[in-house]
Structure 1
C-alpha cells in the first residue's frame, strides 16, 4: 500500500532556526516531513499524491501555547480545541486542573484536536489558592501539605495520565524539593510558580519552566532578604483562612515595592541561575488590566466566535474593568521590560497565555503574546522559536517537533503574510496541518 503524500509547492519556508527560504517545496509523507527542497529539485511522488500550490504563502511550524486551562471556564471548555486550531495552535500545555476531568476531556474531544499535554492539579501547600471557594477560583489545585506526601502525589498523577507536574505558590521549600525529586524519578518535566517561601534563584534550577515572571521581582530587589523574611513570617503566622487571600495580600503589599527597589546587579545574578529554566511570561495576561485587549480592532470578531454564555460573562467583566479607577501599570511595564533582561542573560523564553483567564481567547491570545514578546525585545524569529521549539524542548521533543526539516512531525501552518517582517502576520492563517492532515484549509 502506497504511503500518503502531500506536496506543498512554491512556498516560502519560515524555520525558527534558519529563517526564511523562498521557492521551496515540502513533501509530507505519513504524517512527517519527508523532504524540504528547492522548487527546481525533482522529488519522487506517488500517483495519488496531493499537490497544494502555496504560491506567495509562508509556511511555519505549528504553534504552541505553553500555558492554558481547559476547565477554568466551563462555558468554553468544549470549544477551546477548535479555536486553537483556527488560529494555528497545534499543541498546548494545560497547566492546571483536575486530572481525571482533563484525561477524560482529552480522550473525548473529537478529532481533529491539538496535541494536548496535561499536568493535572496545581500542587499547592497546606493552604490552596485555587480551592473552588469562588467562581473565579475553580478547584484547579490540591494540597501537598508536607514532604512525605510528595512522592505519592506525583506517582498518582503519572498513573492517571499526567505528562508533567505544576507546582504552585503556597508549597513549603522542603515539599517543593520532594515534589521535584519525585517528578525527576519518573521523567516528568516540572512547570512551576515561584513559591512565596522561596526566591526565583532557589526554585529555578529545580524546574524546567517558570510561569508569569511572577515573584522574580522580589529576588531582583536590593532588599530581597528583608522582603523574603517578611513574607516567610506572614506565611508562618497564617493558621486559618483562604490561600487566595494570603497570596493576594503578599503580592499586593510587596510586588510594587520590590520593583521600585530593582537592583540590576542582583537581578543578573538571579537570571544567571535560570539559564536552563524556560520562562513563560504570559505578557498578555500581565498587561490585561493596563492595555485592555478588548480595545483592539480585531477583538469584536474574535469574541464573536466564542459561545454566547462566554460572551455575555466577558462583556460584564469588561464593563467592570472599564469602571475601575486607573490601574497601576508598574508590574505590566516590568514584565515587558524583563524580556530584554532575559535575552541579555541567555534565559530561554516560551510563549504561553493562561487562556482563558483574564479574557484570554484561545488561539487568538497566543498571537497577542507573540506581539508582546517582540515589543519586549525579541525578533519575530525569536518569538516564533518561543512558540515552536522552546515548548518542544520542555518535553524533550525538539528532535521531532518545532522545525521545518526532514523527519519532523508535520504540524504546519500556512500564512498569507511573512511573520518575519511583522510578527502580527502570524495571525494571517490560511491553512493548518496536523500530523500530515489538513485540518483547516
Structure 2
C-alpha cells in the first residue's frame, strides 16, 4: 500500500525551516531577471526575500544573517500557474500532486472541482498558506453547478432559476473563489446562475453548457471558460442546429447514450461547416468581452492515444492504485465511435488552428492541463509543461506561452500580491532556470531552484522530492 506523502512533505518543510532556511530572509544573487510581459532581460541582479515577499532588488545587496542562494547567472522567472486542475479526486491525491507541481516549477494552481468536502479543501489551502505544508498556492474555484443528476459526484444541482439563485447564495456564504457552470445546465438556469454570480461579485467560470450558444455566454458575462472545443463549434455555421438537436432530444427525455451520441456527431459537422469569417467574428467578441479561456489542449493526447510508456518517469511517480485505474476501460474512450476515432486527428488539428487564431485575436489565455487522478494520462505538473509546448507548436513564441502561465493567471484571479512581475512587494513565487526560457521552453523541465512562498527548494531538494515519489510505493 502506498504510504502517505504528507508526512514526507512535512519532513521536507522541517528541513527547510530548521536546516537550510534558518533565517527569515534569503538573498538570491547573480540572476538574470526575465520580464515575461515585455521580454526584457536584466542581468547581474540580486533579490532579498523576506517573510515570503520580494523585499529588495539591486545589483548588489548587503545583508547580514541571511541565507544565500547563488544564482550563478541563471534566469529567474515568476512561478508557473496551472489554471485548471483537480487535486481532490481521491483521499490522498494532494500527497502526490503537490510535490509534482513543485518539481515542475508550478507554484500556483486553481482547483476546479473535487470530491473532498469544501472545509477540508480550505484546511489544506490554509496549511499551505501558513507554510505548514510546502505546496503551490491554491485557488479553490471548484463550486461546480450542473443539472440533475450531475455529471460527477458532489456537484451542486440546479434545474430551475430559483435553484441557481439559492446555490449561488450557498457558494458565496461558503467562501468559494468563483461559481463554476457545468455542461448539462439548461439555458434559463444558466442565465440565472450568471445573474446571481454577478450580483454576489463572484466570477462565473466553467463549461459553456451544451445547450447554450457561446455568444449567449459572452452576453451573459461569463468571465472564464474551461476547455476549447466550444470555440470551433461556435465557428460552425451549424452551431444553432447542433444546439437545437440536443435541446429537442433532452426535452423528449433522451437517455445518456443518446445525448452522448448527439454530442459526438458534432465533430463531423464542425469539420464540414467551419467558417473562417464567422470564427474571426466570435473571437473578436470574446476579446472585447475579456472572456478568459483555459484551453486544456493537452487533453487531446488522451483521446489520440499519445500515452507515456509504463516505465516513463512520470508514470513511476504515481501510486500503483492510480496506474491500475488508468489501465481499466474508460467510459470516455468507450463512448468514441469509429467515426469519431477517424476524425480525431483532424478535430485536434482544427482546435489548434483556432487556438492560434484566438491568440492572434487577443483572446486572453490561462495555461491549463485538467490534470487529475480521475483523468488518465494527465499529470500534475508535467502536463502543464506539455500544454505550453503545444502553445508554441500552435504559433505562440516561448514568451507568449509563458505569459499564459505566469502573468495572465494572477491578474485574472485579482491577487493582491501577484501580477506576474518580479518586483519588490510581490509574493516570492519564482523559478530559477539554467537557460533563457525565451529562447525555448525545454529549460523548464529541470529547474535549478523553485521558490514558493519565499521558501527555497534548490536542485538537491527538488531531486530529493523526485526520489521520494519514485520510491513511494
TM-score by length of 2: 0.82
From the superposition, tell whether residues 24 and 16 of structure 1 become closer, same or farther in structure 2 (CA, over 3 Å). Answer: same
What's the secondary structure of 2:114's corresponding residue?
coil
State the 1:237 CA deviation: 1.9
State the 1:203 CA deviation: 0.8
Partner of 1:118: 140
State the 1:310 CA deviation: 1.8
| Residues 191-219 of structure 1 deviation map (CA, whole Å, 9 limit, x = unaligned) | 12111111112213421211111222221
Answering whether residue 100 of structure 2 is matched by residue 83 of structure 1, we say yes
State the 1:266 CA deviation: 0.9
Partner of 1:312: 324
Distance of 2:259 and 2:400 partners within structure 1: 33
From the superposition, tell whether residues 424 and 340 of structure 1 become closer, same or farther in structure 2 (CA, over 3 Å). Answer: same
Asked if the contact 1:217/1:255 (under 8 Å) is kept, the reply is no
The partner residue of 2:44 within 17, 23, 29 is 23
State the 1:399 CA deviation: 6.0
What's the secondary structure of 1:420's corresponding residue?
helix
State the 1:365 CA deviation: 0.8
Asked if the contact 1:303/1:311 (under 8 Å) is kept, the reply is yes
Answering whether residue 31 of structure 2 is matched by residue 11 of structure 1, we say yes
Distance of 1:69 and 1:365 partners within structure 2: 13
Distance of 2:99 and 2:368 partners within structure 1: 18
Q: Any stretches of 5+ residues in structure 1 without a counterpart?
A: 131-138
The partner residue of 2:418 within 400, 405, 414 is 400
Partner of 2:4: none
- Number of corresponding residues: 419
Answering whether residue 403 of structure 2 is matched by residue 385 of structure 1, we say yes
Asked if the contact 2:238/2:269 (under 8 Å) is kept, the reply is no
The partner residue of 1:71 within 50, 64, 88 is 88
State the 1:75 CA deviation: 5.9
Answering whether residue 69 of structure 2 is matched by residue 55 of structure 1, we say no
The partner residue of 1:332 within 348, 353, 358 is 348
The partner residue of 1:226 within 233, 241, 253 is 241
What's the secondary structure of 2:438's corresponding residue?
coil
Distance of 2:95 and 2:68 partners within structure 1: 33
Distance of 2:314 and 2:228 partners within structure 1: 27
Asked if the contact 1:170/1:195 (under 8 Å) is kept, the reply is yes
What's the secondary structure of 1:60's corresponding residue?
strand
| Residues 5-51 of structure 1 deviation map (CA, whole Å, 9 limit, x = unaligned) | 322111122221132322222222221112333x3xx4342x21222
Asked if the contact 1:380/1:422 (under 8 Å) is kept, the reply is yes
From the superposition, tell whether residues 36 and 291 of structure 1 become closer, same or farther in structure 2 (CA, over 3 Å). Answer: farther
Answering whether residue 362 of structure 2 is matched by residue 343 of structure 1, we say no
Q: Which moved more, 1:370-379 or 1:211-220?
A: 211-220
Distance of 1:395 and 1:185 partners within structure 2: 18
Asked if the contact 1:413/1:433 (under 8 Å) is kept, the reply is yes
The partner residue of 1:259 within 238, 256, 271 is 271
- State the 4+ residue runs in structure 1 displaced beyond 6 angstroms: none
From the superposition, tell whether residues 412 and 149 of structure 1 become closer, same or farther in structure 2 (CA, over 3 Å). Answer: same
State the 1:291 CA deviation: 5.8
The partner residue of 1:249 within 257, 261, 267 is 261
Partner of 2:181: 167
From the superposition, tell whether residues 426 and 32 of structure 1 become closer, same or farther in structure 2 (CA, over 3 Å). Answer: same
Alignment of 1:282-297 (within 5 A): 282-290=296-304, 292-294=306-308
Alignment of 1:265-304 (within 5 A): 265-275=277-287, 276-290=290-304, 292-294=306-308, 300-304=312-316
The partner residue of 2:444 within 414, 417, 426 is 426
| Residues 44-87 of structure 1 deviation map (CA, whole Å, 9 limit, x = unaligned) | 42x21222111132211111111111123456343212221121
Higher helix share: 2
From the superposition, tell whether residues 413 and 165 of structure 1 become closer, same or farther in structure 2 (CA, over 3 Å). Answer: same
Distance of 1:21 and 1:182 partners within structure 2: 46
State the 1:108 CA deviation: 6.4
State the 1:104 CA deviation: 4.7
Asked if the contact 1:218/1:259 (under 8 Å) is kept, the reply is no
Asked if the contact 1:218/1:228 (under 8 Å) is kept, the reply is no
Answering whether residue 106 of structure 2 is matched by residue 94 of structure 1, we say no
| Residues 337-365 of structure 1 deviation map (CA, whole Å, 9 limit, x = unaligned) | 12211022110111010002131111111
Answering whether residue 163 of structure 2 is matched by residue 149 of structure 1, we say yes
Q: Which moved more, 1:264-273 or 1:107-116?
A: 107-116
| Residues 279-325 of structure 1 deviation map (CA, whole Å, 9 limit, x = unaligned) | 111011023322604159xx71111111122233335569x98xx98
TM-score by length of 1: 0.87
Partner of 2:230: 215
Answering whether residue 198 of structure 2 is matched by residue 176 of structure 1, we say no
The partner residue of 1:193 within 207, 229, 241 is 207
Asked if the contact 1:8/1:51 (under 8 Å) is kept, the reply is yes
From the superposition, tell whether residues 251 and 140 of structure 1 become closer, same or farther in structure 2 (CA, over 3 Å). Answer: farther
What's the secondary structure of 1:402's corresponding residue?
coil
Asked if the contact 1:221/1:261 (under 8 Å) is kept, the reply is yes
Partner of 2:468: none
